Amino acid sequence: MTKPFDNKTALVTGASRGIGAAIAEALAANGAHVILVARDAAALEQVEERIHAAGGSATIAPMDLLENGNIGKLGQAIASRWEALDILVLNAATLGTLTSVQAIDGNEFVRVMSLNLLANQAMIAAFHAMLVKAERAEVVGVTSSVGANPRAYWGAYGASKAAFDTLLKAYADENENPGRIRVHLLDPGATRTTMRVRAFPGEDPAEVKPPEVVAEALVERLQSDAPTGQTVRVD
C-alpha cells in the first residue's frame, strides 16, 4: 500500500518534542524517511524509537544549530548520503523572556534572533542545492501570530518571527517561477507544548489542542495544491 511521502526524505529541526516531534512522526507515518535534528540526543532517540515501532524510518542528528559550523557539517553529511531533500521543516526556536521592550536583555535577544532567524537562513543556504534536486520540494517554517500581530511583552520573540516570515516569503518569491520549491508558513496557534506552558503558566494544557493536530494539518497541506508563500493557521 503506497503512502503520500514514499521515497521522500524529510528533515525536521526541533524534532525532540512538541510540534517538531509530532510533525516528524506524522511524516514518517506517511512514508518519508525523516532526519531528526535537535540538541537532546536521548529525546531524539525516543522519537526515533516511536517512528520505528510504528513501521517508519528515521535517522537522528543530535546537534546545536548555534554551534559554529554545525549547520554546514550537517548539510555536507546529508548530501553525502542522499541526493535530494524533499521536505525541510524549520521548527527549532526559543521563546526567550517575555518582557517589555526596554527590559530585553541584549545577550538573550541575540540568542533569540540567532536561533529563530539566522540559523534558519543558514539551514536554507545549506540545503537549497538539495531542495532544487527534488521533484518538488517543500519548505515549512513554523511561525507565530505575534510576528504579524505584535503583542505587549512579546517584542523579542515577535520580532524574530516577523523577520523569519519576511525571509521565508522572499525565498518563496525567489523560487516561485522555477516551481521546484514550495514554501509554507505554519502558524500552529494555541498548542500543548513546553513553550506554551512557559508563556501561559496559568493555562490548563488540556484546554489547548495537542501537537498531533498541527502535524495532521501540515501533512494535509503538503498533499494539496496550495500556492507557495502563504501562512496557514491551525486553530
Q: What share of the chain is helix, strand, coil (3-state, %, to 5)?
A: 45, 20, 35
Report the Cα 222 to chain-centroid distance in Å.
Answer: 14
- Output the pLDDT for position 179: 84
CATH architecture entry for 9-233: 3-Layer(aba) Sandwich (3.40)
Share above pLDDT 70 across residues of the chain, in percent, rounded to a whole number: 100
Low-confidence winner among 30-34, 194-198, 208-212 (lowest mean pLDDT): 194-198
Sequence ranges of the domains in the chain: 9-233
| Sign of CA pseudo-dihedral 20, 157, 154, 167 | negative
Q: What is the pLDDT of residues 178-206, one digit of tens each?
A: 889 999 999 999 999 999 999 999 999 99
| Sign of CA pseudo-dihedral 76, 167, 14, 22 | negative
Tell me the HSE value of 139 on the side-chain side, using a 13 A CA sphere: 30
d(CA 97, CA 164): 19
Give SS3 for 38.
Answer: strand
- Provide the H-helix boundaries in the chain: 18-29, 41-53, 70-79, 106-113, 119-133, 145-148, 155-174, 194-199, 211-222
Reading the block at residue 235, the C-alpha cell is 486553530
Q: Which residues are catalytic?
A: 157
Whether 105 contacts 156, CB under 8 Å:
no
- Output the pLDDT for position 194: 92
Whether 187 contacts 231, CB under 8 Å:
yes
Task: Please give the average per-residue pLDDT across 106-127, as a whole number.
Answer: 98
